Amino acid sequence: MKSPWKSTATTVVLTAALLASATPALAAADPKSAVVKPAVQAPLSYTLTQDLQVEIKTVVNEKTPDGTRLGAVVRIKNTGAKLVRVPEYEVRLKTKDGVEYKLQPSLGSPKSIQPKSQAELSYLTTVDSAGGVELGELTWVDIDVYVYPKKETPKLSIPITEVAWSGTDNAEIPSASVKKWGESFAIPSLDTPLEFKLSNISRNYEGNKASSIVQVLLTNPSKKREKLPDIVLEGKSGLKTYDSALVESGVALEPGEQKYVHFVIPTELNTELDAFNIVTTEKYINDQKEPVTYRVGRVHVLLPDKQSDALLIQGKYAFGEAMKMDPLNNLIHPDMSVSLVELHMEENEGDGFNTAIAKFRLTNKSSRPLGVPSFATDLVSSDGYTYSGSRQGQTSIRVLPNASYIVSYSYVLPASETGEELKLALYEAQGSASPEAKTPASAGGPDKDGKDASASDAAAGASLKGAVSFKSLLTAYKVDVQPQPESKDLFALYPLNVKVNLWDISAIYNLQQGYNYRLKLMLDIKQEKDVLIDRTFSQLQFDMYDSGGTLISSISHPFFGQNKLQNGTNILNFSPNTEELGYPITIKVYEAFENDKGETVKRLLGSFKQ
């Protein structure tokens, strides 16, 4: 865990540049100074000289063990046709009670600006003010030291009209920087047109480690290629802050393109996140040529009260309809439709838990074979618990043209689960990745390499190393559990309807084996048109119980291949090899398949008792 705003509290302030509601001011003493009206959501730009325009990216007001660190990062633009030197004006932060603090320029800031281009200038100072300061404006002042007394001429003054960020441990967050979950937003202070939307969060457990994976949708609305700026997504739980790692690297979007990126946030096992900060790292080089870095909050995104409500759903699902998939997914072919055709839940007698079984129909609408997609699924209960699905252990490799194929998933749920108001989510499992943790340090002092760091930073970075599994949301719906059919002579297991026209249980005795039993079934099996089954499809499992309820024999028969069940007469032999003739005998009939964990999953279809 890493908390970049600790009790030694980074209090970060964004200026009016972040806020569309900010009010620009003219230069205090320069009649030529004029405000350049910004486009919608763009940072406000101010005239510093004839060719130079200034906009504020960051203002920092940070408590440290040595006092209060004050600073600013400004973006300066040369609108002229030739190289322009940066004026050697003093840059000051003025408090609301009139105190002025001189800021020192970074040794890394450029001294001149190329024509029709821009650069960032960084300024910092530390003052002995343990009680903190309340900032009022950022000013540029021309100092003439060749006259006595020295002459000061104000050149530009920009008001800091609102506190836009006060650190993660501050409960007062300005409304302009707060976004709801699923809301799209831009970050004008980063000088990027990219739009962001936090679209999904999932949990991953590996051993005794836990992590939250946040899926972020990027949109490039501009007419040129744009790179993802260097941002970090911090997870918040109360006053605790958790660092993240970006899984993807070198992310860039073409004009009009949309793309997902994923941030992995390691936490304690029982941690529930309630919000996220999008932060950036600012860099400064002091007079000793030592780099200082600090983080600045840009946007605060709130999670719903229940994290499960962060799942963006399509609405209420109607069984059999084609699910609407995320068009950006790389798993489900556009000519492949996915439908949920069955969802049943029942109690496992004596085991203390329930089992849910979902069947998905994959339909190939093209004229060529398509591969069977291996998606992950979750069931989310009304009280926010998530139950991951286990896929059937074996599937076909591909789906034939103009045909459908069935894939089954099983879920283990507590016995208290009622199955009401469930949500079903499908994911594209991304396997594992080894993201590089970006853990910019708080500005607490340089480490042995001259870089700002702290022990907690190093620990946070170490916790992010190694392979991480993550997944991208394909779609999600509200779903209802289907009631079990009441007919005793019709077994419905999509795409089959098995009608039992006649059944009979008889006993056979011989000296070597004792009593064995035979079940005679007259079946009428009907199969849904164009829905194909193969050896991977579910089987019927027949469990035989004696009069005391003890399981004495069990057999299975497929619907495909050797020893399959068929229309007409079927003779099933049970061999409990008992010396006593049981009466009554009960045979329970289940639909059964083996999931990818090697477990046999079954659903009760009916029973025979004789």
Q: Quick one: pLDDT at residue 162?
A: 60
CA distances 46 to 193, 277, 528, Å, are 20, 28, 71
Q: Quick one: pLDDT at residue 11?
A: 33
Q: Quick one: pLDDT at residue 603?
A: 93
Closest CA to 278 of 353, 371, 168, 135: 168
Token pair 């009631």 in the structure block, residue: 483
126/379 Cα distance (integer angstroms): 53
375/431 Cα distance (integer angstroms): 11
Q: Quick one: pLDDT at residue 31?
A: 33
DSSP secondary structure, 162-215, as one string: S-----TT-S---GGGEEETT--EE-GGGT---EEEEEEEEEEEETTEEEEEEE
385/148 Cα distance (integer angstroms): 74
Rounded to an integer, the average pLDDT of 319-340 is 96
- Sorting pLDDT into bands at 50, 70 and 90, what band is 77? very high
Q: Is the peptide bond before 149 cis (omega within 30 degrees of 0)?
A: yes
Q: Quick one: pLDDT at residue 348?
A: 78
Closest CA to 500 of 491, 513, 510, 511: 491
Backbone angles phi, psi at 322, to 5 degrees: -70, 130
Q: Are 298 and 173 in contact (CB under 8 A)?
A: no
**Who has greater pLDDT, 151 or 453?**
151
User: Which class for 140: exposed (0-12), middle (13-18), buried (19 or more C-beta within 10 A)?
Assistant: buried
Residue 451 scores a pLDDT above 80: no
pLDDT above 90 coverage of the chain, percent: 59
Beta pairing class for 185-186 and 240-242: unpaired
- Sorting pLDDT into bands at 50, 70 and 90, what band is 529? very high
Collapsed DSSP state (helix, strand, coil) of residue 589: strand
Q: Are 99 and 133 in contact (CB under 8 A)?
A: yes
141/100 Cα distance (integer angstroms): 11
186/18 Cα distance (integer angstroms): 10
- For 160-198, write each residue's pLDDT tens digit: 866 545 555 554 555 668 899 999 999 888 889 999 999
How much is the mean pLDDT over the chain?
A: 84
Q: Quick one: pLDDT at residue 178?
A: 86
Rounded to an integer, the average pLDDT of 506-524 is 90
pLDDT above 70 coverage of the chain, percent: 83
- For 215-225, write each residue's pLDDT tens digit: 999 999 999 99
What is 175-309+434-474's CATH number? 2.60.40.1240
- Sorting pLDDT into bands at 50, 70 and 90, what band is 461? very low
- For 92-144, write each residue's pLDDT tens digit: 999 888 899 999 999 999 999 999 999 999 999 988 876 667 888 999 999 99
What is 23-159's CATH number? 2.60.40
Query: Model pTM greater than 0.85?
Result: no
Beta pairing class for 35-36 and 45-47: antiparallel
572/553 Cα distance (integer angstroms): 12
Q: Quick one: pLDDT at residue 76?
A: 95
**Who has greater pLDDT, 374 or 6?**
374
Q: Quick one: pLDDT at residue 291?
A: 94
Q: At residue 370, what is the residue type?
A: L
Backbone angles phi, psi at 175, to 5 degrees: -60, -30
71/59 Cα distance (integer angstroms): 6
Backbone angles phi, psi at 428, to 5 degrees: -95, 110
Our CA angle for 257, 311, 189, nearest 5°, is: 45
- Sorting pLDDT into bands at 50, 70 and 90, what band is 455? very low
Q: Quick one: pLDDT at residue 166?
A: 54
* CATH architecture assignment, domain 320-421+475-479: Sandwich (2.60)
326 CB-near residues (< 8 Å, 6+ apart): 472, 473, 474, 475
- Sorting pLDDT into bands at 50, 70 and 90, what band is 14? very low
Same-fold call for 175-309+434-474 versus 320-421+475-479: yes
76/55 Cα distance (integer angstroms): 7
Residue 25 scores a pLDDT above 70: no
Helix or strand run (H / E) with residue 94:
strand 90-95
Closest CA to 3 of 295, 305, 301: 295
Q: Are 162 and 16 in contact (CB under 8 A)?
A: yes
Q: Are 377 and 474 in contact (CB under 8 A)?
A: no
Which residues face 252 on adjacent strands? 227
**Domain ranges (residues) in the chain:** 23-159, 175-309+434-474, 320-421+475-479, 490-609
Identify the DSSP state of 566.
-
Rounded to an integer, the average pLDDT of 11-20 is 33
**Who has greater pLDDT, 309 or 408?**
408
Rounded to an integer, the average pLDDT of 15-19 is 33
Residue 3 scores a pLDDT above 90: no
Q: Quick one: pLDDT at residue 438?
A: 41
Q: Quick one: pLDDT at residue 7?
A: 28
Six-digit token string for 107: 């040794």
244/265 Cα distance (integer angstroms): 4
Q: Are 232 and 299 in contact (CB under 8 A)?
A: no
Six-digit token string for 205: 């457990």
Q: Quick one: pLDDT at residue 18?
A: 33
- Sorting pLDDT into bands at 50, 70 and 90, what band is 523? very high
Q: Are 396 and 374 in contact (CB under 8 A)?
A: no
Closest CA to 233 of 291, 273, 175: 273
For the 490-609 domain, the top CATH level (class) is mainly beta
Rounded to an integer, the average pLDDT of 406-410 is 97
Six-digit token string for 257: 């393109």
**Who has greater pLDDT, 542 or 133?**
542
